[in-house]
Amino acid sequence: MDLFNLTAHELTAKIKNKEVTSKEVTENVFKRIEAVEPKVKAYVTLLKDKALAQAAEVDAKIAAGKEAGLLAGIPIAIKDNMNIKGTKCTCSSKILNNFISPYNATIIDLLSAEGAVFTGKTNMDEFAMGSSTETSFFGKTFNPWNLQAIPGGSSGGSAATMAADEAIMALGSDTGGSIRQPASCCGIVGLKPTYGRVSRFGLVAFASSLDQIGPLTKDVTDAALLMNVIAKYDPKDSTSANILAPDYLKSLQNNVKGMKIGIPKEYFVEGMDKEVEKSVREAIKLLEKLGAQIIEISLPNTEYCLAVYYILAPSEASANLARYDGVKYGYRTPDANDLLEQYEKTRGEGFGPEVKRRIMLGTYALSSGYYDAYYLKAQKVRTMIKNDFEEAFKKVDVIITPTAPSAAFKIGEKMDDPMQMYLSDIFTISVNLAGIPAMSLPCGFTSQKMPIGLQVMAKHFNEEAIFRAAYTYEQNTNWHKEKPRL
């Protein structure tokens, strides 16, 4: 039996009822990895021995009649910018190629406490900077729906593991769309929680005011299940919100009667792929038919999102990445005559072109004489963008938009044009700037059989509204049941 095809909520029931063991599930997933990983290349580190040991622990607990946890025996893939003690954490960069984590990220402790099994660390754009998983030092990841296409980014490895059934659940991080855009490209579910809802302690920082960890899963129920485990207050993270998270599984109601759904006119723009627009509009019509009230809204400062993001995110990155200097950890150049030369050569040799580009952009925006003109102004416009959403959520419960302006594009298509690559995140960036939660879920396919994503946003700490709308849509369609033929 192919256990790797199943969802976590299906498997936890089978494991707890002793129909299958965690060891059988884990071995089955690794058999799948051996079969398809040479084509997909989703992982940078596999943890088979560790995973089998974790699975054996879960099985021993169940055999002894002890409580084994919410995710007992479920194999989970972890993006390679989250620390697992004693395991490599590279951020898919040469500069951290030899770095072994000395501690666990908080989310790793939370998952372990609930019996999760870690399959490995997934490939990503270097330091999460990219939308295609092409900037990784370890090479590209390929989209399971079409091996000539990108899987999205930066959490492309995690998204590809879900589409290819190389894990049962996965975790990614989202700074400007890095969970939702790959979820859209790979035809799976991806949730960026509210900023502060999930601890960032042990996540390698890219842009600290934007980064957020979240689930990538095969369906909406699994996303709710994973959120029940990771949405906890953490005193180790100064940005963690001390707000009790609800039981997200209770939000899974197949009912949108009376729900108000906002459709922002700024998100249906010129240049958007016609097939994407058609699928998203059909999804909106279906929700209306199911009893939701559709209201056109305006988010007037949307046009500034991209510019604001590409000042703020690189500025924070330039500060966060200053620590990679070859002194305490990571790569160090072998031929330097003095300390300054060591810094310069280590960073020059250790970082890839996209990371260098963003460090330079950020350093420029923060430099003397430009700080007020760029960084300070961008912060003010960010507040205006946040206010747009606050006004909109006074009238509607959720906002629905496309996740990305097109389906996954061909590998190499946009590598020489950074501006075109940055536009891949045009519909997702605003969510990070405002700090609100948003989910991408599958809503159709192009004529080339490439997945299309629907984005559902809600106000701060109202993930329940997203789950309700997304679950209703999912239960009334079959897109999430489609699988690529690998």
Contact 330, 95 (CB under 8 A): yes
Mean pLDDT computed over 153-166: 98
Contact 212, 184 (CB under 8 A): no
**Does pLDDT of 285 surpass 90?**
yes
Write down the domain spans for the chain. Answer: 3-260+396-480
**Does pLDDT of 128 surpass 90?**
yes
Q: How far apart are CA 232 and CA 253, in angstroms?
A: 23
pLDDT at 322: 94
Is 414 assigned a catalytic role? no
Q: Say which residues have a Cβ less than 8 Å from residue 373's Cβ, sequence separation at least 6.
A: none
**Does pLDDT of 1 surpass 90?**
no
What pLDDT, in 10s, does the model give residues 421-437? 888 899 999 999 999 99
Distances (CA, A) of 452 to 295, 441, 471, 481: 23, 8, 17, 14
The strands making up 117-122's β-sheet, listed across from edge to edge, are: 43-46, 117-122, 75-79, 169-173, 213-217, 189-192, 438-445, 451-458, 398-402, 260-264, 293-297
Secondary-structure breakdown of the chain: helix, strand, coil percentages, each rounded to the nearest 5: 45, 15, 45
Tokens, residue 137: 């030092």
Q: Are strands 293-297 and 260-264 parallel, antiparallel or unpaired?
A: parallel
**Does pLDDT of 18 surpass 80?**
yes
**Does pLDDT of 270 surpass 80?**
no
Is 218 assigned a catalytic role? no
**Does pLDDT of 353 surpass 80?**
yes
Q: How far apart are CA 220 and CA 400, in angstroms?
A: 16
pLDDT at 368: 86
**Does pLDDT of 186 surpass 80?**
yes
Q: How far apart are CA 362 and CA 107, in angstroms?
A: 29
Cα of 211 vs its chain's centroid, Å: 10
Query: H helices within 207-273, ranges in order?
Result: 220-230
Q: How far apart are CA 243 and CA 220, in angstroms?
A: 23
Contact 389, 414 (CB under 8 A): no
Burial per residue of 443-470, b for 16 or more beta-carbon CB atoms within 10 angstroms, e otherwise: bbbbeeebbbbbbbbbbbbbbbbbbbbb
pLDDT range class, residue 415, cuts 50, 70, 90: confident
What pLDDT, in 10s, does the model give residues 434-480? 999 999 999 999 999 999 999 999 999 999 999 999 999 999 999 99
pLDDT at 269: 77
Mean pLDDT computed over 117-135: 97
Contact 294, 261 (CB under 8 A): yes
Q: Say which residues have a Cβ less than 8 Å from residue 230's Cβ, sequence separation at least 6.
A: 107, 110, 111, 171, 198, 199, 213, 215
pLDDT range class, residue 137, cuts 50, 70, 90: very high
Distances (CA, A) of 61 to 56, 65, 112, 116, 269: 9, 6, 13, 13, 54
Task: Please tell me the number of Cα atoms within 13 Å of 5 on its side-chain side.
Answer: 8
Helix (H, G, I), strand (E, B) or coil at 39: helix
**Does pLDDT of 313 surpass 80?**
yes
pLDDT at 271: 79
pLDDT range class, residue 244, cuts 50, 70, 90: very high
Is 79 assigned a catalytic role? yes
Under CATH, which number does the domain 3-260+396-480 receive? 3.90.1300.10
pLDDT at 62: 95
User: What is the rounded average pLDDT for all residues in the chain?
Assistant: 96
Q: Say which residues have a Cβ less than 8 Å from residue 71's Cβ, sequence separation at least 6.
A: 8, 12, 111, 114, 115, 116, 169, 225, 226, 229
Crossing angle, helix 463-475 and helix 274-289, to 10 degrees?
A: 90
Cα of 70 vs its chain's centroid, Å: 21
What pLDDT, in 10s, does the model give residues 386-409? 999 999 999 999 999 999 999 999
Q: How far apart are CA 465 and CA 253, in angstroms?
A: 10
Q: Which residue has the tokens 């995690």?
A: 158
Contact 124, 170 (CB under 8 A): no
pTM over 0.75: yes
Q: How far apart are CA 74 and CA 121, in angstroms?
A: 15
Q: How far apart are CA 118 and CA 74, in angstroms?
A: 8
Of 93, 178, 240, 406, catalytic: 178
Of all helices (H) and strands (E), which one includes residue 78?
strand 75-79
Residue type, 286: L
Distances (CA, A) of 60 to 18, 20, 49, 51: 12, 13, 17, 14
pLDDT at 375: 94
Mean pLDDT computed over 27-38: 98
**Does pLDDT of 297 surpass 90?**
yes
Nearest residue to 184 (alpha-carbon basis) of 472, 400, 407, 399? 407
What pLDDT, in 10s, does the model give residues 36-83? 999 999 999 999 999 999 999 999 999 999 999 999 999 999 999 999
Task: For residue 334, count CB atoms less than 10 angstroms from its CB and return exposed for 0-12, middle for 13-18, buried for 19 or more.
Answer: exposed
Share of the chain above pLDDT 90, in %: 94
pLDDT range class, residue 211, cuts 50, 70, 90: very high
Q: How far apart are CA 360 and CA 258, in angstroms?
A: 49
Of 101, 131, 136, 154, catalytic: 154
Contact 262, 399 (CB under 8 A): yes
